[in-house]
Structure 1
Amino acid sequence: MTEGILNSKPLGYASSDLANPDPITPNLLLMDRRDALLPQAVYGSSDLLGTATPDLAVGTVVMVLDSQLPMAMWPVGRITWIVSSDDGRVRSAEVDIKGNLYTRPVTKLIELPKMPDDGDTIAP
C-alpha cells in the first residue's frame, strides 16, 4: 500500500487545471500506464468544482454538520427559514430539529435526497 502511494506521487509540478494531461509519476514510468488511483473520467464543465449549486429552500431536509459528534450522529432537520445575502445567495438557514430551531450557515448543512411518499412505488 505504501509503495502504491509513493509511486503515484507526481515527480514534478502538477497543474490543477483538468485540461492538462496526467502528471508524470513513477507508476507511469515503471508500468507505462496511467495511475489507477487518478480519476480517469472526463467531466463536463457543469460537474467541475467551483460551479454554482442550487440554493437551499424552505422545506428541504438537511443533515447538520457537527464537528463535536461522529458523522453517524449528526442531527437531521427541516429548513424553516432562509437568510439571503445582498447578492441573493442563501448564506444561512434556520433548521427545525425535533422541535428546536437552530440557525446554521449553509456550509454546515448537507441536503439529503428526497424520500418517496408512502404511496409511491420504487422500481426495482
Structure 2
Amino acid sequence: RVIGDQRLTYEELLTVMTQVEAILNSRPLCALSSDPNDFEPLTPGHFLIFRPLTAPPERDFTAVNINRLSRWQLIQRIQQDLWKRWRQEFLHTLQQRTKWLLPATEVTPGTVVIIHQDNIPPRQWPLGRITALYPGHDAVHRVADVQTASGVIRRPLAKLCPLPSQ
C-alpha cells in the first residue's frame, strides 16, 4: 500500500526494503540500562550490529506530486510514507487508553516512554523516563513529568508511548 502503483527496479526495491529494515530495527524495545539518566534505548539493531541504526533526516517529499519526483526522491517518499504509516498504526497501539470505567494498569514513575512530538519525524522523537505523575480532578493521572537528556518536561499522558517491554 505504501508503494501504490509505482513500478520499481530491482535496485530501487532493494533500497526501499533495506530502509524498511532499518526503520523496523531502529524502534526502541526497552531501556538499555536501569540508570535513570541513561536514555539510550535497546533496539533490534543492537543485536545485529551492536549499536543503533540511525539515518540522517531527508527532505520531506510527501507534499510533492508523485510524477514530479526523481527516482531517488520517489524512494525517499516511499520511506516517508512508511514512517507515516508506522506512526499511525504501531505507535497508536502503544498509546491506546481505555475509558476509565475500571482501574487500569497505568504508567508509573520510572517507566521509559517515547515522547510524541507533532513537529518532528518519529525517528527523532526523544525518549524519557517518567519522574512524576499528576492526577486530574477525578484522581486519574493525566499529566507526567518526564526526564529527558535535555531536562525535565511536562507532557500529557496522551503524548507518551510506553515502550512495548514496559
| TM-score normalised per structure 1 | 0.49
Report which of the two structures shows the higher radius of gyration computed on alpha carbons.
Answer: 1
Q: Which has the higher contact order (CA 8 A, sep 6+)?
A: 2
TM-score by length of 2: 0.37
